Amino acid sequence: MISDPELVDGGGFSEARTPPVVVDPVPPKPPRPRRPWLWAVGGAVVASALWGGGLYAHERYEAGRGVDLGGYRSVEDVCPKAELKALSGELGEVSRDGNGVLQEDPALERATCSGIIGSPDTGFSVDVLYELHKVTDPGPEFEARLGDLRTDAQKVEGLGEVAFFRRDEGDSGAWMRVLDGQVEIEISLQRLQSWDGEKNEPVPQPKAIDLSGVDALFAQDMKALMAAVRQG
């Protein structure tokens, strides 16, 4: 049974949510008639404003200023940034599979790191993903791209703009993904499974490690990682 440690820097979880206030819709008033030339002028003004805004955004990007990254930086290797002190303190030492992998593009930087936490026989594979969106806003598509991963996931309060955590059935793993401005970060665990080649079947394993309370450990390591990548 994993104890539930206190979060630092004001992080926390809240499973109880206040239900949204539902207000009876007010029937809209019929629009007042306008002269055709007013509509034409209005459309021209809107089109001009949109064109001007798009031109400004394009010029701003071309000037090298780009979007506001909120202090997040490019990282050549995310592995040293992801120390995972909270998880390793409970589940066992982290061993890396080598250096992290960086995929860099003018619009998107994706850095990954993988390894093993705990015993190779009874531990977990651990993966870290860091995505820095340099041009577009990932916010509108964040939840949609999670797809089925959102099933049974709980929303985490006080961590980035939006965060989700899920503990898999049978304690086979867990993951947490955070959106914070132009950045998406994910930490995931997956229980290791040995395979018997002669019998062509998985090797029987001891009782699964109880992951109760692991959400708090994820949150601590996620906050530490978010701070580390801001430092560059």
3-state secondary structure of 51: helix
Segments making up each domain of the chain, as ranges: 32-66, 79-231
Amino acid at 33: P
Beta strands, E only, 118-158: 124-133, 154-155
How much is the pLDDT for 120?
82
What confidence tens digit (pLDDT) does each residue in 6-58 have? Answer: 444 444 333 444 343 333 444 444 444 433 333 233 444 333 443 443 433 34
- Determine how many CB atoms are found less than 10 A away from the CB of residue 25: 6
CATH for the 79-231 domain, from 3.20.20, 1.10.260, 2.40.128, 3.40.1000:
3.40.1000
Q: What is the mean pLDDT of each run of 10 residues along the chain (232 residues)?
A: 49 40 42 36 39 40 66 95 96 89 95 93 93 96 88 93 94 96 97 75 73 96 97 76
